[in-house]
């Protein structure tokens, strides 16, 4: 069992986890922004005379 292979495997796993969390945060932010925008639009629609 060589150390380099183990290091590489751990590095790749770490990279995958980072990419996943980055992707999730982007999707989550998009969702929040879209929801806030929709809520704002609905409020404007109801408040406009």
DSSP for 16-40 reads HHHHHHHHHHHHHHHHHHHHHHHHH
Q: What is the tens place of the pLDDT at every residue in 9-21?
A: 899 999 999 999 9
Tell me whether residue 48 is in a domain: yes
pLDDT at 1: 59
Q: Which residue has the tokens 């796993």?
A: 13
- Structural domain includes residue 7: no
Residue 5 maps to a domain? no
Please give the pLDDT value at position 24.
94
Q: What's the structural domain count of the chain?
A: 1
Whether residue 36 is contained in a domain is answered as yes
Residue 14 lies in a domain: no
3-state helix, strand, coil in the chain (%, to 5): 90, 0, 10
**Model-level pTM?**
0.54
- Vertex 13 angle, CA 11 and 14, to 5°: 65
For the segment 23-27, the average pLDDT, to the nearest whole number, is 93
Range of the domain at 30: 22-49
């Amino acid at each position: 069992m060589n150390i380099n292979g183990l290091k590489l495997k751990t590095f790749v796993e770490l990279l995958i986890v980072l990419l996943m969390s980055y992707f999730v945060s982007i999707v989550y932010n998009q969702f929040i922004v879209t929801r806030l925008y929709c809520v704002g639009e609905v409020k404007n629609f109801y408040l406009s005379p």
